[in-house]
Amino acid sequence: MQMDFHYYATYCAAILAGYSHEESMDICYSAQFVDLCSKTLLGKIGAPAQAATTQLQLELMDGRSDLLAVQESTSIWSSFHFLPGNLHKEKNRRTKLYMDKYRLVCMPNGELVKKTVQLAMGQSLQHVGIAMHVLADTWAHMFFAGTPSLVINNVTTGDFYEMKEDGTQSRIFFRHNPSVPDDPEKNLYTNSLYQSSETSVMNLGHGRAGHLPDYSYLKYRYLPAWSDYRMVLKDNPSDYMHAFCQMIYALKKLRAGDDDIRTEIYDTDAIAGYEERIDGILKKRQLIACDDWKAFGEELSGMAIPDFDIETYQEEYMQAAPDQKEETFLGRFIRAALAQKRMVCEEIQSTGNLLTGIPMRRRKKDKK
């Protein structure tokens, strides 16, 4: 998902869940900040690099491709952007190496998303924002894994078809020109280059499908590498609506301190009277819907939503004394990011999957 959903739509969901304008701003800022909190930024402000919630393109390009780099990459992307749906799913006649990656495929309504929301219970608004980012991305990024893997994340680019509302289908074409914006009118989009190396960074996440999962208006079918030659359907308007309603449900639970979190529950009552407006925003054929979501949010709250500024809280963190840093906005965000990453990595490692690293407990045992 992009800024339109992570920042503005999360703000709208928070207002509808009963949070105040200031609280909603903290939540939505944190949700958007997950897409920007890289090692480079953390290094600039003197924060721990382990709290990185994303990797910039330049960092990925400069990165190594050995096991340690794959583990670092997987621990970040699986924890914040491609939360695994089912760490115990089965598939016949596959090696452990394949299954470790297959089980990292992102899906909504998994056990981990429930734990993500529960982890944010009683915590800071920054933690709530991170949880909302992770929850929303389970809908947008489903069917892709947060680990570089050709056999999981590759797609057959010749089999992408947009399914329009009138029942017609039109072929989607890809090109490798990131300097030119995608062209929805001509169905021309940019994706990552095909690389036959299994752990190439080009095969990380939804790179092979370009930005298609992040465009709320697109409904399309395609052939992913993991699906054993079965077509899958990605209905973004429906998925984004599910994500929005599930966010409202989760936010209400968090605000009330009720840790009885369940999956597959969507608070459609909260959007009563707004369904058409939201549906219109989601289905409007545009690459980014910031203006529409912002207008909707300002109508809901009656307050102006400032544009996102990555530097808003950096000075506060840098100027704070070392023992006061954790109480700053970014300090709370960093603490929440570390907790989220630790939880997800431990869950993955407890299944015997070492793609996010060797479990800390095992390391202590080895030392003895």
Partner 1 sequence: MNQYEETIQKIHDDPVLDALNTPEEVGLRRYRSRLSLDGIGYITFGIWSVVKIIASLFLSTEFYTKMIGYMQTEDEPEELVKLVFGVFIAIVCIMTLLVHFKIGVAAIRYSNGTRKTRGFLFLVLIMIVLTAHGLSTYFTQHDYDIKFLDDTAVASAIADLTGIFILIDMVISASRIKRFRRLQREAKQED
In whole angstroms, how close is the CB of 286 to partner 1 at the nearest point? 24
State which residue, 230 or 367, has the beta carbon closest to partner 1.
230
CA gap 156, 57 in Å, rounded: 23
CA gap 251, 27 in Å, rounded: 10
CA gap 6, 288 in Å, rounded: 12
Beta strands in the chain (DSSP E): 161-163, 169-171, 173-175, 188-190, 219-222, 232-235
In whole angstroms, how close is the CB of 233 to partner 1 at the nearest point? 4
State which residue, 91 or 285, has the beta carbon closest to partner 1.
91
In this structure, the chain runs to a length of 368
In whole angstroms, how close is the CB of 229 to partner 1 at the nearest point? 4
Residue ranges that bind partner 1, judged by CB under 8 A: 85-86, 89-91, 107-109, 142, 163, 169, 221, 223, 228-235, 239
State which residue, 83 or 142, has the beta carbon closest to partner 1.
142
In whole angstroms, how close is the CB of 228 to partner 1 at the nearest point? 7
CA gap 147, 51 in Å, rounded: 18
State which residue, 86 or 123, has the beta carbon closest to partner 1.
86
Question: Is the backbone of residue 205 left (phi > 0), alpha (psi -120 to 50) or beta?
Answer: left
State which residue, 169 or 170, has the beta carbon closest to partner 1.
169
In whole angstroms, how close is the CB of 246 to partner 1 at the nearest point? 12
* Element housing 319 (H / E): helix 314-319
Side-chain-side CA neighbours of 62 within 13 Å: the count stands at 7
